[in-house]
């Protein structure tokens, strides 16, 4: 591994661990008595820490060198037993089919809307949403417009307007829904 790759690897691991601990760069700087600027450069792989400095940062982040350098094998396949499902009072179902999606860029879900039901409206926010209707038909309400989407059709929109999804039909509708960034 070249020096640049090692620096990038160490920087990414520090940033991920800092974020996982909910710390800002300034908070980590205060704990380690390093400058915010140095830590920022370190996280971007632009500088190399000394061994002593790296060990201090790892300790301040509540980790050990063994844990820090342990390679995490990224899960690729997820089974139905790992899905997390939430069913509301009307019987509408949301299944988070990638249970750790919040650490990724996208959040895929399987959604089932019961007949004549509407999911809660989302206010405008940063992001994009995509869906593919697997069965039934739904209506996508985007701002003041409504779009009907049938089995085998898909939809895509930026979430800069208020938006919601409903099922106007007499039978349940099921669709794959992918949003980015993930909702928490």
What's the pLDDT at 1? 64
What's the pLDDT at 155? 98
Q: How are beta strands 137-142 and 107-113 bridged, if at all?
A: unpaired
pLDDT, one tens digit for every residue, the chain (184 residues): 687 888 888 999 999 889 888 889 999 999 999 999 999 999 999 999 999 999 999 999 988 998 888 876 678 888 898 888 999 999 999 999 987 777 778 899 999 999 999 999 999 999 999 999 999 999 999 999 999 999 999 999 999 999 999 999 999 999 999 999 876 4
Cα–Cα separations (whole angstroms), residue 70 to 1, 64, 65, 104: 16, 10, 8, 20
80-180 adopts what CATH topology?
Jelly Rolls (2.60.120)
3 state SS of 3 = helix
3 state SS of 170 = coil
Distance between CA atoms of residues 89 and 116, nearest Å: 14
Q: Which CATH architecture has domain 3-69?
A: Orthogonal Bundle (1.10)
In the structure encoding, which two tokens stand for residue 69, read together?
A: 């350098």
What's the pLDDT at 72? 67
For the chain, what are the domain ranges? Answer: 3-69, 80-180
């Amino acid at each position: 591994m070249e020096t640049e790759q090692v620096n990038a690897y160490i920087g990414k691991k520090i940033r991920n661990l800092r974020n996982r601990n909910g710390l800002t760069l300034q908070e980590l700087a205060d704990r380690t008595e390093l400058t915010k600027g140095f830590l920022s450069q370190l996280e971007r792989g632009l500088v190399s820490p000394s061994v002593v400095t790296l060990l201090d940062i790892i300790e301040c982040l509540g980790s050990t060198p063994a844990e820090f350098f342990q390679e995490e094998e990224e899960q690729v396949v997820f089974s139905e037993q790992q899905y997390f499902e939430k069913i509301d009072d009307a019987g509408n179902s949301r299944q988070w089919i990638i249970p750790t999606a919040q650490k990724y860029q996208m959040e895929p879900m399987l959604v089932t809307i019961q007949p004549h039901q509407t999911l809660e409206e989302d206010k405008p926010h940063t992001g994009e949403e995509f869906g593919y209707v697997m069965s039934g038909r739904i209506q996508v309400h985007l701002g003041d417009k409504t779009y009907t989407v049938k089995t085998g059709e898909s939809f895509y929109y930026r979430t800069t307007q208020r938006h919601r999804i409903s099922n106007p039909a007499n039978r349940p509708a099921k669709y794959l829904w992918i949003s980015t960034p993930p909702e928490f």
